[in-house]
Structure 1
Amino acid sequence: MRRLLFILCLLLPAAAFGYTDHRGRNLDSLERVAARYTPDKLASTSKEELVDYAMLCRELTWGYLQLDATKCTYYGRQAIRLGEQLGGDMTVFDASILVGQTFWAREQYDSARVYYNKAAAALASMESDNPPRKENDLDANRSRLWGTMGNFYAVQDSIEQASFYYNKAAEIFDKYEDYQQNAILYYNLGEIRMDAGDKKQAKADYDRSLTAARQSGDSLMVAIARKGQGRWYKENGQMRKALQCLKEAEAYYANHPQEEAQSRSETLDYMTASYDALNKNMRTLAVLLALLLASAAAAFWIVFRLKRTRKELTETAAVLDETIEELRPAAGEEIALTEQEKAIAKLLAEGLSTKEIADRVCLGVNTVLWYRKRLYAKLDVHSVAAFTTELHRRRLV
């Protein structure tokens, strides 16, 4: 993450800032030239030589930026001091950002802020120059400072401020169709928002990063953007889409294993996590499918048993009805009741409910209902009133 943030500050075209890039030259030889400018010589030298020395310090600041923070800070401060003395706003601006970067990289944020403020003051001074400077030079300086400030606030989790400066820089990049810078910038925004849990906005930033990367035609930028999208899909549980994005990124990193070792490592970590999650989901689905099949089989068996039981009950009821029908007395036939039937008949005649009769004779409710149906059949009646009348007429109780 920090590597990409640092790249954002360094990818801007060197020529736009008015310095000669000596990072590929022998820094020792440049230092030997700088060593000739002793304090006594600086006190008596001409303005033209001071300007040359300021430029030399500025170039050494660039040269040592990623090699020696102490030397970078020393020569940067020299360049700032001489720039302020000679009215060289561009020297102050450039050196202030570079010195600020050395403190930023060491997480000395208060010191970094001091130098970024110096750079902002130098930029304001350049904007008010008369005659005015070229607008494209000012825009290049603005985008550089705002991108740097965005990085500064991003590592401190000040998302709103980081987003504010990144968006200001993006406006400049859009203006000059610098899609490569926008691809990195929006990727960084997506990473910051993902770390903060703002997944909805992170998705939009990753998508914008991919759009800018494709417009730039830079395959590295496309791989970075796809890696960001893969992370988003992974953390939102969409593993197949995550793997699709990450495989596209890995295809690029695999062809550049030395240059992009860190990015490839992150991509492979995301892919491993996505495969693990996908396999876990597949195992869970397999278990759920097995449970679903078992439940379906159980439901089928229950339905089958219910249908079978229902059929048996229907057949049993039909047999019982047939049996009871056979019990109906023929005309003039004497009716005989068992003791159990007499007891139940008496309670029925007294008007007790089925449950009350069941409690009295210690039988189940269904059994009492069966006896009542049997008694009605024997006396050839269909209601309690008719049953009671017939019972007393035949003097059965």
Structure 2
Amino acid sequence: MEFRLSPGGSINGEARVPGDKSMSHRSIMLGALAEGTSRVTGFLEGEDALATLAAFRAMGVDIQRHGAGEVVVNGVGLHGLKAPAQPLDLGNAGTGMRLMAGLLAGQPFDSTLTGDASLCSRPMGRVITPLELMGAHIESSEGGRPPLHISGGRRLQGIHYDLPMASAQVKSCVLLAGLYAEGRTSVTEPAPTRDHTERMLRGFGYEVLREGEVISLEGGGTLKACNIDVPGDISSAAFFLVAASIAPGSDVLLNHVGINPTRVGVINILQAMGADITLKNQREVGGEPVADIHVRHAPLHGIEIPEDQVPLAIDEFPALFIAAACAEGRTVLRGAEELRVKESDRIAAMAEGLTTLGITNEVLEDGIVIDGGTLGGGKIRTFMDHRIAMAFAIAALRAQEEILVLDCDHVATSFPGFDALARGLGLQITVQREEA
């Protein structure tokens, strides 16, 4: 599937983006391990979250879908999962694989986690290392890559783990394994990362403590079923925050978006660049802060992105790179090595696309330097990365020529219906499907 985009235009109107992917994954996992029935609304019906749902069904959990993002999870308790009959295929879901590795390390049965070609090229050593320190046994392919073969019946011990990088996925993996470990499991973060796991564990009645940079829990507790309302994903909203900011005449309201303080780096960075973004109707839903986000076109200028904002915007940088390309002056990003091990090497992939469009940039080991300029057109490779595809789709709003974005099938992993929603707001996008 390819996106063909006509140059120019603006976006206007009101929309609600799909549910938060991080929270959708966790709602299924914790709902499955809780005692009782949990009801989830706003669930992201994208391929990644549905892969997690299918994996728990394969382990004997009764999960019912009622359409329009409504899911009912009949929990089996912390020790109620059953051995799956075959490997658990998580498709493109890196979050699903890293978090489930923690949960499966404490089960009495053997299991195997696998995925598509993109996921099986991503490094999992960052979760294997702490899990093995806890007593798990995990075999992987060369370089710590999937499939992961996890031995059951291992006795896990609580550990204290200093995260070598700011990663919510690694933090969550260790904490989830800690549910099955003897004693206390704690993690020290080098910088704040998204805290959906801690918030949701508390929502399910499990005590999680935070003292400074240290998050800890005791093993052997119980999760109690609860209802979860998943807000719109700020990572999906980010494309329209940037789109409205860069396109003259744009005015967009995005309803019911999660504004968790560990996720608002994209808003902070855009505002520092001069964006006109206002949070309205701020409220709390199920322990998570939510707001309607109003964004209008404003001239942007390049900045040095503060390193303390990098972990708070790690998934939004493809969109932010487009903002930088349309800004006056130079934007510098450092301290973002994590971008190299996402669904693609997002620094290299975005640099290639920006170069194709005529934007001068310099790739750094841990970031990129982008000089704002005039965007041309051309064919963009996405490297099977959903966020690369959507980023270059919105770039067309400021392009001088047509943009063709190749290999866009993976957009459905996080944003089913992206093209239709974007078209409804005014983006001149058509979908071309390859002939069989």
- By the TM > 0.5 criterion, same fold? no
The TM-score normalised by the length of structure 1 is 0.26
Structure with the bigger percentage of strand: 2
**Larger Rg, first or second structure (1 or 2):** 1
Structure with the bigger percentage of helix: 1
Higher relative contact order (CA 8 A, sep 6+): 2
The TM-score normalised by the length of structure 2 is 0.24
